[in-house]
Amino acid sequence: MLFHKNINALRALAVVSVVLYHFKIPGFSAGFLGVDVFFVISGYLMTRIIVSGLHKQQFSLIGFYAARARRIIPALLGLCIALAVFGYFFLATDDYRELLRTSKQSLLFTSNHYFARDGSYFDAPLQENWLLHTWSLSVEWQFYLIYPVIMMGLHKVFALPTFKRLVLALGVGSLVFSALYTPGHPVASFFLLPTRAWEMLAGGLVFLYPLALSPRAAALCEGLGLALIAGALALLPHDATWPGYLALVPVIGTVLVIHANANSLFARNRALAFLGKTSYSIYLWHWPLVVLLYTCGLLHDWRAVTCAVLLSVALGAASYGLIESRTRALKRPVLGLVRYAGMGLVWVATAGAVASAIKHNPQLRWTQDDGKPEYESKLYAQHCDTNAYGASQCVLGTGDISALLLGDSHAQSTAAALMLENPGAAMGWARAGCPTLIDFEMGDKDVEQHCKAFNADKFAKLATDYPGVPLFLFSRAALYTDQRRHSGYSVYFNGDKHQSGPAFERRFIQTYTQTVCMLARNRPVYIVKPVPEMPFSVYKGLTLQHRLLGMNSDILTPVSEYQARNRLALEAIETAAERCHAGIVDPVPYLCPDGRCMGSKDGRPLYFDDNHLIDAGNEQLKGLFKQALHSSTGSTAVR
């Protein structure tokens, strides 16, 4: 019984860390490591169940799967159904269909792969996904499927000492792979099992290599473990690549606490016991409340956050009492597995059918969408080709090519503002998530490879083609330079991923200036300052605020936040413009009157999401490009 108190106290510590991190409570900027604590605990418990059963020749693979299904599926299914009902009344149609899609992925336990393809855990739009947190359940379920089969095979072939050494070797191998793979592939590493398995195997090794500790030694072991976890929470950088070697700190801390099995105040604390017992349901319910506050612009309102934290605990307790505790009795493993797996599959089929029906019959929704933004502009004709690495080449408008656009996705989304003033056609070159730099490295090596190929191709074209035609450079610069972000899109130089502060800033300004000067050798160059970013997706926020809260206010953000986020980019632009004799095009006066940047105007969204302008937003920029287009000396139109 004592051990279960110890485990529940650790679970409480883990869920508190994760919940307070997601609600952005100061002091918990590394609270995401609570998931790592959960993984270690899970590895310990699964190894104990499997190895003990094998030793007694009583282990049933079907029974194991049934017990895991009973533990995970009912509460998760309850959450998915509740969100589906909520979304039917309050979410925009596309968001509701996305919710149904992700609920399917969650109950198929493949959501980690789904999210790994979609971007970084720490950035929008994933931050607006109501079931993002189910990625960790998918990792665990995949571990549950594979681990007992491996253990059964090893146990059948090898004696116990060799068996234990092989499990140790698997853990070390996964750790080494994680440490080597994570720096170049941070998104995949965060979400996928191969780079997470070592954390669960670390827990398994606690059972395979138990320690006989005196009460004094156990207390010291537990204290050291808790200190490591607390130190990691307080000191680990929020932008650490994860789960690389730094994840060893909380993992070792958790291992020490489990090893200690101490009869301590920590293990016996009733509040921790309650939070640990209900931790799974609290974890399930807290994230949708985070998304709700985030989308309504309330995540920095301490009153709203306090209520949401307390509501997370209350909903978790209700889910535990009404669902978890009632599905514990499992007398027939095969029947139980069929029952719980069947429940999940029925919902998967139902969610798929509803999503398809709504796609073809939007009138089935309780409320109809009004003013849904479209990403593709209707203000001008365009023809685009996309190559193998995701870059687009678009002929915008008709007539001779009188302007060139180069950059990331903002070169596409802001093109309409330029075309409002351009008398001819324009050639647009864009690759989402790519900085226009001659020399750089990125956190995600796959993205880096595509971006370097895109830049090399376009720089070569600009050296020979369209001589004298003015070039406009667009960029969502903060995506690459804001070191507060945890993103595979962050840039660095000379292999020094951890370079920061003045050294990084000097190198970025130098590299950006060299790039602009190179491009300005045979044509006028105009640098378009970054478009202001909103704190959340504008249309989602407007829709939810209106339908749920009855609010009709516009979405605004202080221009000071724009300036802080883009400080380095703005300095680099000013420096490059001066040294390379380039022009500057500044959208801020048009989008940020009275010191506040507009996400919407008169209830009408100006953005497709949180950073890409749509036609309504581009119309706000009318006149922005007029002077640049009509005053480029020596510019030439090319057929």
Which position has the token pair 């006028």? 524
Q: Structure tokens of 225?
A: 């473990």
pLDDT of 639? 34
Q: Tell me the CATH number of domain 382-532+559-587+618-631, given options 1.10.3470, 3.30.43, 1.10.10, 3.40.50.
A: 3.40.50
For residues 460 and 477, give the distance between their C-alpha atoms in angstroms, rounded to a whole number: 23
Q: Do the beta carbons of residue 639 and residue 599 sit within 8 Å? A: no
Enter the DSSP assignment of 621.
Answer: T
Q: Do the beta carbons of residue 291 and residue 83 sit within 8 Å? A: no
E strand segments, 153-236: none
For residues 533 and 556, give the distance between their C-alpha atoms in angstroms, rounded to a whole number: 10
Q: Do the beta carbons of residue 441 and residue 491 sit within 8 Å? A: yes
What does the buried/exposed string (b/e) look like for 500-534 if buried means 16 or more CB atoms within 10 Å of the residue's CB? eeeebbebbbebbbbbbbebbebbbbbbbbbbbbb
pLDDT of 95? 87
Nearest C-alpha neighbor of 152 from the set 233, 47, 296: 47
Can you list the residues of the chain whose pLDDT is less than 70?
1-4, 119-125, 239, 329-337, 340, 344, 351-352, 354-372, 375, 379-392, 483-487, 498-499, 632-639
User: CB atoms < 10 A from the CB of 73, how many?
Assistant: 23
Q: Is the dihedral of CA 605, 607, 608, 609 positive or negative?
A: negative
How many helices (H) and strands (E) would you count in the chain?
A: 27, 13
Nearest C-alpha neighbor of 5 from the set 278, 276, 313: 276
Instruction: Provide the residue ranges of all domains of the chain, joining segments of one domain with +.
Output: 2-364, 382-532+559-587+618-631
DSSP string, 539-591: HHHHHHHHHHH---PPPEEEHHHHHHHTHHHHHHHHHHHHHHT-EEE--HHHH
pLDDT of 174? 95
Partners of 583 in beta bridges: 526
Q: Do the beta carbons of residue 600 and residue 606 sit within 8 Å? A: yes
Enter the DSSP assignment of 613.
Answer: B
Which position has the token pair 């139902």? 350
CA angle, corner 610, sides to 609 and 611, nearest 5? 100
Nearest C-alpha neighbor of 408 from the set 385, 435, 388: 435
Q: Write the single-letter amino acid at 450.
A: H
Q: Do the beta carbons of residue 608 and residue 373 sit within 8 Å? A: yes
Question: 293: buried, middle or exposed (CB in 10 Å: 19+, 13-18, 0-12)?
Answer: buried
